[in-house]
Structure 1
Amino acid sequence: MAVDAFDGPDAVEEAPAGKVLQLLDRAIEAQSGLVSKNIARARQRNPEATPAQVIRSLERMYVSALAGSGAAVGGSAAAPGVGTGVALALSAGEFLSSLELSTLYALSIAEVHGVPLDEVERRRTIVMGIMLGGSGSGTITKMAERTGQHWGRQVVAKVPVETLKQINKVLGKNFVTKYGTKQGIIVLGRVAPFGIGAAIGGGANAALATLTVRAGRRAFGPPPAEWL
């Protein structure tokens, strides 16, 4: 998994301010083509699984992958002989990895719900709206002048692309601030002594994944009864 967007430890501090949206677009581009494979993997053990069962599998896969990624980097970064610069560089790579995992999860559940993914602006709204949680959904419904639950179906699938572009400008500013700040806290935690860093990295990532899963459920509501 490429991490060349970072040039060293200093880039970890610079990323929230100048590179998060660039990394987001890179993640969306890279993961969009993997959505079908991700859903197929969730159906692998039960090809006859309902949409609700597949979404539960996608949720478990996502939380497990993100928690494992954080714990692995936390443990490696705090291992004896690893300096702070290397530790921060490892966490910088995991920053991109967690962003890609979250992007793939958000786009996958949108696909199961039948939300169109044909426009990049729709994909941006889905990913940022879910990762921002309540503040994201509030911004989307307010700017789209829509009310009611489940913005993922009501807004992203129906609002014109030009409106979504305006929504995404506001979401982007909030995304840089909120996501960058959370990642900064996690990066510092992973440089803790060996064992503690792994616990902080895995636990923090698991907590973020759980919040993202809840936001996804609120965004789309109950799964469709049948495959669309």
Structure 2
Amino acid sequence: MATDAHDGPVPAEDGRGQRVLDLLDKAIDSQSLLVRKNIARARQRTPEATPAQVIRNLERMYVSALTGTGAAVGGTAAAPGVGTGVALALSAGEALSSLELSALFALSLAEVHGVPIDEIERRRTIVMGIMLGGSGSATITKVAERTGQHWGRQVVAKVPAETLRQINKILGKNFITKYGTKQGIIVLGRVAPFGIGAVIGGGANAAMATLTVRAGRRAFGPPPTSWPGLTSSTPPTSENPPG
């Protein structure tokens, strides 16, 4: 895994902030290899699905999975014999799971839209930009000095890696602040007793997933009418890697 892309000063709650970025990199690295399989799963029941149909399925899969992980962890506090310490430990693991699910969703969207995800800087920009929502898109377009909608296509696919590195330094600082704080609130909510944690955990994750889906739509715009880079309407599969 590359470790130099978030170089430069990290806000110095330092160690904790760097751990958030390390978790992000770990999630991006592990999920990048699963993108095409995720797309294949989204069209499993409809092999001839259009990009628009696949994107809708990806959105549903993501919201369902993220909501489920939050509710499952939150429910542990209500189980007999399970203490707060155990629930907190599980929540720490679920933070990585949430990042992995979000990274997989964002990178899968990019793949369907034909946006290259071959370089780590592009993958970082896509994932952080979508998870940060409006503030992410504003940062990306400002640093890249580009205007217009749908930064996922207009910026990530076109600007050089050095520009993306500058963007990612700023996004990284914002990501530490926003994601770290939000995740901390959600974790505390999940350890509430009597099953309340399951409601808070699942509801908070559902809300976060919904915002991420909206950010993804704004980042990439309308789905392509055909599968990018292919001569037929058949989308890529895990058995049909790009040339």
Same fold (TM over 0.5): yes
Which consecutive aligned stretches of 4+ in structure 1 deviate over 2 angstroms post-superposition? 13-18
When the two chains are superposed, the root-mean-square deviation of aligned CA atoms in Å is 1.3
Separation in 2 of the partners of 1:16 and 1:150? 32
- The aligned runs of 1:28-177 (5 Å cut-off) are 28-177=28-177
Separation in 2 of the partners of 1:81 and 1:14? 36
Deviation of 1:193 (Å): 1.1
| CA deviation map 1:16-61 (0-9, x unaligned) | 5330100111111100000000000001000000000000000000
Q: Secondary structure at the match of 1:224?
A: coil
Q: Secondary structure at the match of 1:54?
A: helix
Query: Contact (CA 8 Å) 1:15, 1:180: kept in 2 or not?
Result: no
| Alignment partner, residue 209 of structure 2 | 209
Deviation of 1:80 (Å): 2.5
Query: Contact (CA 8 Å) 2:77, 2:195: kept in 1 or not?
Result: no
Separation in 2 of the partners of 1:15 and 1:81? 33
Deviation of 1:78 (Å): 3.1
Separation in 1 of the partners of 2:138 and 2:193? 39
- Higher helix share goes to which structure? 1
Tell me: CA distance 1:14–1:87, structure 2 relative to 1, closer, same or farther (3 Å): farther
| TM-score between both structures, scaled by the size of structure 1 | 0.92
| CA deviation map 1:98-147 (0-9, x unaligned) | 11000000000000000001110000000000000000000000000000
Q: Which amino acid aligns with 1:193?
A: P
Q: Which amino acid aligns with 1:58?
A: L
| Alignment partner, residue 221 of structure 1 | 221
Separation in 2 of the partners of 1:221 and 1:17? 31
Separation in 2 of the partners of 1:196 and 1:115? 41
Tell me: CA distance 1:87–1:62, structure 2 relative to 1, closer, same or farther (3 Å): same
Identity %: 84
Q: Which amino acid aligns with 2:55?
A: I
Q: Secondary structure at the match of 1:171?
A: helix
Query: Contact (CA 8 Å) 2:139, 2:171: kept in 1 or not?
Result: yes
Q: Which amino acid aligns with 1:23?
A: L
Q: Which amino acid aligns with 1:201?
A: G
Separation in 2 of the partners of 1:15 and 1:106? 26
Instruction: Give the gaps of 5 or more residues in structure 1.
Output: 1-12
Separation in 1 of the partners of 2:64 and 2:173? 29
Q: Which amino acid aligns with 1:202?
A: G
Separation in 2 of the partners of 1:83 and 1:96? 21
Separation in 2 of the partners of 1:154 and 1:114? 12
Deviation of 1:215 (Å): 0.1
Q: Which amino acid aligns with 2:113?
A: H
Corresponding pairs, count = 216
| CA deviation map 1:46-96 (0-9, x unaligned) | 000000000000000000000000000000133222122111101001000
Deviation of 1:15 (Å): 7.6
Separation in 2 of the partners of 1:75 and 1:83? 11
Separation in 2 of the partners of 1:29 and 1:40? 19
Q: Which amino acid aligns with 1:68?
A: G
